[in-house]
Amino acid sequence: MACRASNLPELGYVFTNLDILRQALTHSSFVYENNLGPEACNERLEFLGDAVLELLASDFLYSHCPKLTEGELSKVRAGVVCEASLASYARRLGLGVYLRLGRGEAAGGGGEKDSILSDALEAIIGAIYLDGGLEAARIFVADLLVQPMGQAPIADPKSSLQEKVQKASRDPLVYAIIEETGPAHQKKFTATVSHCEKVLGIGAGKSKKEAERQAAIEALEGNFF
């Protein structure tokens, strides 16, 4: 893939330094297969972008949701910057087709995996911050956080599921981590949420919290209550 800023019109940002854009789109599997140095992949940019995103998302919600309490702001922020939401934003931008993936990862559908898409989007945010500064990153993040068709930011699914269950039963929900895979720096967790020993949902994520959140989403979509 020829990684040119003009090939990503949906970003709404033109990079001065195309090398940093190329790095943001380079997955570790591509680096490994092509014997490049570890600094060539997007993991460091992802680290930076994660911090920039949390700051700018907090600022955006603080300014645009004046009636929400601290706890409510935290829940909304968790919803809009979680892996599933970031992957959804990345798909809206068509980011998957621009990723530089190793042959094995590409053959396995890596360009559609939530984990890879969300990491790449955070790397893009980090790259925009380095290339254009905080204000450029602020504009990009604000565009992501404005939901399609004026919808409000998504709520915390675990709280939503809890509220639903409480209306029908006094028995508690039980979350459990049933699988943990991958190296220490790139763990993947799988969680279940159960009620009265019946599994309502299963979810996966880069953290236990994210896996539990995805399990709650699946349970809500199942309409058990």
Contacts of 48 (CB under 8 A, 6+ apart): 126, 129, 130
The token duo for 90 is 């990345």
Q: What are the φ/ψ torsions at residue 129 (nearest 5 degrees)?
A: -60, -45
DSSP structure class, residue 6 = G
**pLDDT at position 130:** 96
Question: Does residue 50 have an active-site annotation?
Answer: yes
Mean pLDDT lowest for which of 28-32, 120-124, 217-221?
Answer: 217-221
Residue 3 has pLDDT above 60, yes or no: no
Question: Does residue 131 have an active-site annotation?
Answer: no
Q: Which position among 43, 46, 50, 83 bears the catalytic label?
A: 50
Return the number of other C-beta atoms located less than 10 Å from residue 207's C-beta: 13
In which band, very low, low, confident or very high, does the pLDDT at 225 lie, cut at 50, 70 and 90?
low
Residue 148 has pLDDT above 60, yes or no: no
Residues of the chain with CATH 1.10.1520.10: 5-147
Q: What are the φ/ψ torsions at residue 78 (nearest 5 degrees)?
A: -60, -35
Q: Which position among 122, 156, 210, 212 bears the catalytic label?
A: 122
- pLDDT higher for 127 or 83? 127
Name the CATH topology of 157-222: Double Stranded RNA Binding Domain (3.30.160)
Walk across the sheet containing 188-195 and list its strands.
173-181, 188-195, 198-205
Q: Which of the given ranges, 10-19, 49-58, 164-173, 205-214, has the highest pLDDT on average?
A: 49-58
CATH architecture of 5-147: Orthogonal Bundle (1.10)
Question: Is-contact 100 25, C-beta < 8 A?
Answer: yes
CA distance 215 to 46: 25
Residue 30 has pLDDT above 60, yes or no: yes
Residues of the chain with CATH 3.30.160.20: 157-222
Mean pLDDT lowest for which of 9-13, 114-118, 154-158?
Answer: 154-158
Tell me: the pLDDT tens digits for 40-86? 899 999 999 999 999 999 998 888 888 888 888 888 888 888 888 89
Q: Which of the given ranges, 40-49, 95-104, 106-115, 138-147, has the highest pLDDT on average?
A: 40-49
Tell me: the pLDDT tens digits for 150-204? 444 445 788 888 888 888 888 899 999 999 988 877 788 999 999 998 999 998 8
- pLDDT higher for 101 or 66? 101
Return the number of other C-beta atoms located less than 10 Å from residue 146's C-beta: 12
